[in-house]
Amino acid sequence: MISCGHKTEPKDLGQKRPNILFIYADDLGSGLLGVNGQEIIKTPHIDKLALEGMRFTRSYSSSYCLPARASLLTGLHDSHANAWRYVAGGIWIDYRDGKLSYQQVVDSVNRAHGEIPDEEVFLPQLLKESGYYTAQVGKLEWGFSTTPDRLIRHGWDYHFGYYDHQDCHGYYPKSLFRNGEEVFIEGNHSSNSKEPGSTYSQELFIEDMVDFIRNYSSDEPFFLYHPSQIPHGDIMIPQIHPDFIDNEQLTLTQKEYASMVKMLDDHVGILLDELVKKGIDDNTVVIFSVDNGHEIYYELAHQKVYDESKSMLSDKFDSERDGDVFNGNQNLSGKKFSFWEGGIKVPLFVRWPGVVEPGSTSDLLVANYDLMPTLAEIAGAEMPAGKDGISYLPTLKGESAAQMEHDFVINKGYVRYAPHRGASLISNDGWKLRYFEGSETYMLHELTSDPKENIDLALEFPEKLEELKQLFHSEYNSPRRDIRSFQFN
């Protein structure tokens, strides 16, 4: 276990340790990428990461943003009992409205999150203590509200962006925060960031990251994490991209949404260009992934969007049937807030020149909580005990014989509606168990032959059902294993 104030000596990797750039898109369905068959929106820069790196075809995350981001930073799956606290968003909007002082907000959010145990270790902390300079730009932390104190404790040397995820539902913030200092944005006047102004938040983020890369002068490597806002709704964009202006197939809202995805891809391209200009492209690992499955913020042709969290037992979103012009969930069932495949299966591309074979694919079963041990191994850091993830560095290096594998990965569904609270387990051999806590209902699917989860095999394969149930309940609502001396109330 690495204590808060101890700097670990990195293992000798036999080469200069690489920089790490991690781009984490928000609500971007797999089907929105050209490399996955998207035809309307061209995404050449994100596609480049897949074509010049490794694409994971069985990558899973959580069903919505907060647990996904918490899993990334803690190395824990989201199905432990009280693994972390969720703090409501909106309080920093109250600060902007003059209802609360800065210190009142900080004290309130810190108190709501609770004290962080000394023995708890976070991803940026692990890298920082191993000699990396750590920076986060964008939709900060896991939310829904955070503070500079928590960012520092988690191990960030530098941060710029939103402290409040409810505030992130708009793109014209009156102010943002850089290392605890409020930065006022000229021409923007909305307390909740939703009224159009002069400056679009994502343009501020890309400028900040470009400056970071251009001006970085340390001999030590950096870890730059960009949790993007886009393409999360509300749909807002300074202007429609030229690719879509004359597209009669799309409504105005769909054109605006497509332009948000296009901006994300353009910004990925800008970052990749900056690495080349800086002369560090060959020694930078670039990782691209998404927090959860696709979400619908635009019109469907058949005008029927299901609320997944209320109808997961009886129905599910289907892009073809419901008329999603973009096929954002790549023909899978479900979307964000569900634990159908379309809600939890996400893109994962890793590009590392000279290490990862260009254009390679892997069907290794991976989860978002595997990022922490993977980056720890890349950095030569000692991984703390009790975390849930497994490093996939051997697979990246083409050393499959040395790769440890998950027996299963697990994730919770959306928890707001108690009748459909539950989780899913995906086994290494391709089976999936879906569990609904309120009704004690189990559903069983074989994903290789039935990727859309149309056939419930629970009655046909009782032995497999029982096997997966036992695995599932060994983890679902289990205590976390990395901190034995501390439990949340």
Rounded Cα–Cα distance for residues 67 and 142 (Å): 7
pLDDT tens for 167-196 read 999 999 999 999 999 999 999 999 999 999
Is residue 354 a contact partner of residue 282, using CB atoms and an 8 Å limit? yes
Pairing of strands 54-56, 348-351: antiparallel
Nearest C-alpha neighbor of 192 from the set 225, 168, 228, 161: 168
pLDDT score recorded for residue 8? 37
Q: What band does 419 get if pLDDT is binned at 50, 70 and 90?
A: low
Q: Which residues of 400-439 are buried (b: 16+ CB within 10 A; e: fewer)?
A: eeebeebebbbbbbbbebeebbbbbbbbeebbbbbbbbee
Two tokens, residue 215: 């001006």
For residues 259 and 316, the model is more confident at: 259
Q: What angle do CA 263, 302, 261 make, to 5 degrees?
A: 5
145 strand-pairing partners = 164
The residue to which tokens 């609502």 are assigned: 477
CA proximity to 135, closest of 54, 200, 220, 64:
220
The C-alpha atoms of residue 33 and residue 290 are separated, in whole angstroms, by 12
In the prediction, which pLDDT does 449 show? 98
pLDDT of residue 44: 99
Closest CA to 140 of 194, 66, 78, 237: 66
Torsion (CA) 328, 331, 332, 338 in degrees, nearest 10: 40
State the average pLDDT for the chain: 92
pLDDT digits (tens, 9 = 90+) for 47-101: 999 999 999 999 999 999 999 999 999 999 999 988 888 899 999 999 999 999 9
Strand 222-227 and strand 19-25: the pairing is parallel
List, for residues 354-363, the tens digit of each pLDDT value.
Answer: 999 999 999 9
Amino acid identity for residue 68 in this structure? A
Tokens of 441: 């209902």
Give the pLDDT confidence of 345-393 residue by residue, as tens digits: 999 999 999 999 999 999 999 999 999 999 999 999 999 999 999 999 9
Domains of the chain: 19-405 (3.40.720.10)
> How sure is the predictor about 421, in pLDDT bands with cuts at 50, 70 and 90?
confident
